[in-house]
Structure formats: structure tokens, C-alpha cells
Amino acid sequence: MLTLRCPVCGIDADETELSPGGEAHLTRFGPDASDDDFHDYLFTRENPRGVHFERWRHSYGCGKWFHAARCTVTLEVFGTYSAQTTEPPAGIRAVIAEKRPGWSWRGLS
């Protein structure tokens, strides 16, 4: 069972108080995109074995969306952060880099 701290209201929320929102930091391809880009936006996900960034909503609490960084193998939570960002913030990346040496994601580490 996951426990994630909602960065909006500060509650340590149980997984069952949250709604999963899938992979975070997707780039949206809209009506003018190529078929391939739109297909990938809809269906292609990273599904990593290890560090993963996800969207969650504190649906039984403050109701707000946020992001979480966790390990899909161990369920270790590296941290949670604002949904108002297009990439994991430096603080979260530093935690991951320390715990998973050599890790990188889209050129960031």
C-alpha cells in the first residue's frame, strides 16, 4: 500500500484516498499533430522498471492533482511535487540521483 504526502494540503494520504492519473509529464499532441504523435500521446507509456513519475489526485481530501516520483519495483516514494510543472523539480531529482546512482530521465538526472 502506498502512502503519498499531498503537496497541496500536506496530508499523508493512503493510496485508497487517492485517484491514479497515470504517467506524468506527457506532452499533449492535439488536432494538428501527426497521426504518429497523436497515437503515441494516447497510447505509448514508459512503463519503467524503477523510477517513475505519476499523476495522482487527492480525491477523498483536498481534491487537488499532484505529481509523485516512486520506484515501481520497491514502491519506494522519492517525493511528491506540484502538478504545475512540466518536469520533476531539482529537489526530487537530487533524491532520486542519490538513491539510484546513474539514473536519468529525458536527459535529466
Residues near other proteins (CB under 8 A): 8-12, 14, 16-17, 60-64
55 binds, among other proteins, Zn ion, none (CB under 5 to 8 A by kind): none
Residue with the closest Cβ to Zn ion? 6
In the bound state with other proteins, the residue whose beta carbon lies nearer, of 8 and 33, is 8
Type of residue at 55: R
Per-residue cell: 81: 511535487
Kindly state the smallest distance separating residue 2's Cβ from other proteins, in Å.
11
**Which residues of this chain interact with Zn ion, rule CB under 5 A?**
6, 8-9, 58, 61-62
Give the CA distances from residue 19 to residues 58, 59, 62, 64, 84, in Å, rounded to whole numbers and listed in that order. 7, 6, 12, 10, 18
Contacts (Cβ under 8 Å, ≥6 apart) of 90: none
Cβ–Cβ < 8 Å for 68, 80: yes
Kindly state the smallest distance separating residue 29's Cβ from Zn ion, in Å.
30
